[in-house]
Amino acid sequence: MNEQRFIVAIFTRIFENYREMKQKYIAFGLVIFSLFTVISCKDQKEETPPPGGKRSGPIKVDVMVVSPDSLRNIIYTTGTLLPNEKIELRNEVAGRITGIFFDEGTEVSKGTLLLKINDQDLQAQLTKNAVQEQMALDDEFRKRKLLDIKAISQEEYDVSANLLRSVQSEKKLLEAQIAKTEIIAPLSGRIGLRNVSPGSFIPSNSLIATLQQVDPIKIEFSVPEKYIRLIEVNMEIRFSMDYTQENFTGRVYAVEPGVDPATRTIRVRAICSNSSRKLAPGAFARISLILEELPDAVRIPSEAIIGDLDGSKVFVLKNGKATEKRVETGLRTESEVQITNGLQPGDTLILTGLLQIIDGTPVDPRLRSMISSGSSKQ
């Protein structure tokens, strides 16, 4: 009997503990549910846009009226100034310098004697040769008179005539050797710094100085191979230098016929007058070259074009709504693109708000003034 009461007491205690725990769990669940309900209501309140918000009504956009205008296809590159002619003055024979007849950095004329090497031994031989030549002339004259009267044979006269020709040939050799002791300016130009001094002995092929013809001056530059058919002789180029604010113009006079396989470019040379001597050979030049000019090109700002997997598209304004149009592009500049197909003069092009609109979206247009004339750039 006591054992039965003890078991009943244990089960009664367990049931009371379970009821107390159940009430605690129910209260905790109600608290969690209340918090979740409050948060959900708050999020829904924040997500609900207020009446008259930004999303109501047409989207404000800037537009422009498409109209044809001139467009230049210009490429920009860099180049180097070159002298029209450049010569290294070198001596052909070794010897001691007896005279230098030019000032460094000055203009010299063609045919001016610039440097003289000692030729006293050659001059002595030439003097001796002159005496021998006179003797040979006299002997040939007498023998010819004797041959006319049949006093000597033809063979005796031929010996005298051959001796005269031999002496005269030796004279020409000596004169050529003497000429090699003189350095004559082969063209008019500006001479550079000299590398020798009077009285010094120089071996053959020593560099005396450089002579450059800088008027006119050449400009050499390279352009990508894709422009090879557009580069022509007599095309105008414009270039500027880092050391002056002045701009210069020149004309293409030669184009390399082949493409450099290392750089995939073609070399071009232009020429420019340099009578003021403001342009120096070896200087760095920034060059612009007009390849072609399109008088009636349809061009639009670059930001108005949207690219996707199918190509390029734009939005135009029709009946107060944005209408999508596929376009084909041509030349490009820093800020503009030529449209070759897809737009017509008079179309109203949408310029802004392109991320917020789709085909058929109502818009509120604001007209932007026409863009200025532009040029294409490499």
CATH number at residue 145: 1.10.287.470
Kindly report the average pLDDT of the chain as a whole number. 85
Q: What is the reported pLDDT for 296?
A: 84
207 lies in some domain: no
Please, what's the b/e burial string for 252-264 (b: 16 or more CB within 10 A of its CB; e: otherwise)?
beebeeeeeeeee
Q: Please, are residues 108 and 185 in contact by the beta-carbon 8 Å criterion?
A: yes
- Claim to verify: residue 99 and residue 195 sit in the same structural domain: yes
24 lies in some domain: yes
Calculate mean pLDDT across residues 177-193.
Answer: 95
- Residue 258 sits in a domain whose CATH number is 2.40.30.170
Q: What is the reported pLDDT for 377?
A: 53
119 lies in some domain: yes
- Claim to verify: residue 289 and residue 311 sit in the same structural domain: no
- Claim to verify: residue 309 and residue 340 sit in the same structural domain: yes
Its pTM stands at 0.66
Q: Which residue in 104, 245, 236, 95 sits closest to 178, CA to CA?
A: 95
Q: How far apart are CA 351 and CA 369, in angstroms?
A: 12
Q: Please, what is the end-to-end C-alpha distance for the chain in angstroms?
A: 109
Q: What is the reported pLDDT for 37?
A: 54
Last residue of a domain, one of 264, 279, 294: 294
* Confidence tier at 249 by pLDDT (50, 70, 90): very high
Last residue of a domain, one of 202, 225, 250: 202
54 lies in some domain: no
88 lies in some domain: no
Kindly state the DSSP code that residue 27 receives in the 8-state scheme.
H
- Claim to verify: residue 286 and residue 242 sit in the same structural domain: yes
Alpha helices in the chain (DSSP H): 2-47, 120-148, 154-179
Share above pLDDT 90 across residues of the chain, in percent, rounded to a whole number: 63
288 lies in some domain: yes
- Claim to verify: residue 174 and residue 102 sit in the same structural domain: yes
Q: How far apart are CA 322 and CA 361, in angstroms?
A: 5
Least confident of 41-55, 92-106, 336-350: 41-55
pLDDT for residue 1 is more than 60: no
- Residue 33 or residue 63, greater confidence: 63
Q: What is the reported pLDDT for 372?
A: 47
- Claim to verify: residue 114 and residue 172 sit in the same structural domain: yes
Q: What is the reported pLDDT for 250?
A: 95
List, for residues 189-245, the tens digit of each pLDDT value.
999 999 999 999 999 999 999 999 999 999 999 999 988 888 999 999 999 999 888
- Claim to verify: residue 193 and residue 225 sit in the same structural domain: no
161 lies in some domain: yes
Q: Where on the phi/psi map is residue 166: left (φ > 0), alpha (ψ -120 to 50), or beta?
A: alpha
Provide the number of structural domains found in the chain: 4
Last residue of a domain, one of 233, 259, 294: 294
Q: Which residue in 372, 371, 375, 329 sits closest to 63, CA to CA?
A: 371
Q: Which residue in 120, 82, 92 sits closest to 184, CA to CA?
A: 92
312 lies in some domain: yes
Burial of 52 (0-12, 13-18, 19+ CB in 10 A): exposed
Full residue range of the structural domain in which residue 1 is found: 1-32
pLDDT for residue 52 is more than 50: no
- Degrees, nearest 5: CA angle 86-91-97: 120
- Claim to verify: residue 193 and residue 271 sit in the same structural domain: no
- Claim to verify: residue 352 and residue 331 sit in the same structural domain: yes
- Residue 339 sits in a domain whose CATH number is 2.40.420.20
- Claim to verify: residue 104 and residue 197 sit in the same structural domain: yes
Tokens 């550079």 identify what position?
192
- Answer positive or negative: Cα dihedral of 260, 261, 263, 264: positive
- Claim to verify: residue 98 and residue 189 sit in the same structural domain: yes
CA 363 remoteness from chain centre = 45
- Claim to verify: residue 97 and residue 171 sit in the same structural domain: yes
